[in-house]
Structure 1
């Protein structure tokens, strides 16, 4: 924990060269964010469909009559509160986290990081800070896209199964939800994005050995990132929704 805090202390400083930082930042936007768009889109549509079908089955088996509009409403609420921010972040922890850990770990074992340090470059700031900014700025975009396409997935499930009408579903998703639900979803998205960028970076930066150790470090990074996301989920839920 102490080493992680020390590394973040070196990372979270003003970049030495703004133009170079911006160039690296835009590259990370593409590598970490844009390249994840297809995976997020595909997962969200099917997750939304599954959530909507589960809501329908739960309401159907309930002893209390539930208006059909509530299928769309419940799907929207569940996607916003839990499924899109948490499930998509866990998926990104596997995809993005392994990439960050392996790329920085490879630079470490090939002594490229040592070369940066010898040249007087703040290597944590140079390598990790663009990844943090890219994740924090682009992950909320991915989650917003996930929510929209998850809701659309629920709509498609209704069209495919005929269990609920399109009009009822649309009326349901237009029903009011508290603004704090939106704030809660995007607050924890930003927290998750920070964890996804920094924990794998820590494991990659401190890897020792060769290519085998880089692979092990990537695995550890993904596992610990997922664990911390779940812990952060518990804490943020207690803070916002208690």
Structure 2
């Protein structure tokens, strides 16, 4: 008997995410984000969410929808990005934001998913990352309500390194190009950014898949994420799978042939 993790809909997949849950969310800006799982979670209505993601999408799209609905209270991210509402809520004291170096964030997710409690890295030594004092939350008057604590620093092979904790979340929402029914997943191009480590970090990982295949159709060397990390799969329609917006389009006029 083959294990089949495909569920009926995105709404069904996120139905049991409760208020106060922590979420690891894949993608980078709008590249490779789980569009339809996020939409389903907005409709489901869970609040007081703690989100771990590279950033919080943009205004009006992706995780920006949960921000606009005031469903997120804490974010661990590497940058604010193009989201003005994210910046506004952070500076207004409505949102707690733990800014983390991008590579460190990816490794914290991967470490958590691998059962590693913490690790040492040279990134951030001698800065507010290691010394503490980085504003996590502001008061409404602009003063700092909560700041980051100092972290342990040790020397290895003559180089100082800071201790960073692995991250484990209640749920993870990710998007993949191809997934077999057992959850073995393949990510395409830029969607291979934060999706694999986010998927590893979740106790319950939900994947929206552009294509679902039978077990055995993926060769072992093709798999980027083993199915052991995946609990639920949502199969997208071809129309849904084609949704791949970008944050900002920059173009220039091509020179004319006469020139």
TM-score range, shorter chain: under 0.3
Structure with greater helix percent? 1
Larger Rg: 1
Larger relative contact order (Cα-Cα within 8 Å, sequence gap ≥ 6): 1
Structure with greater strand percent? 2
- Per the normalisation by structure 1, the TM-score is 0.23
- Per the normalisation by structure 2, the TM-score is 0.22
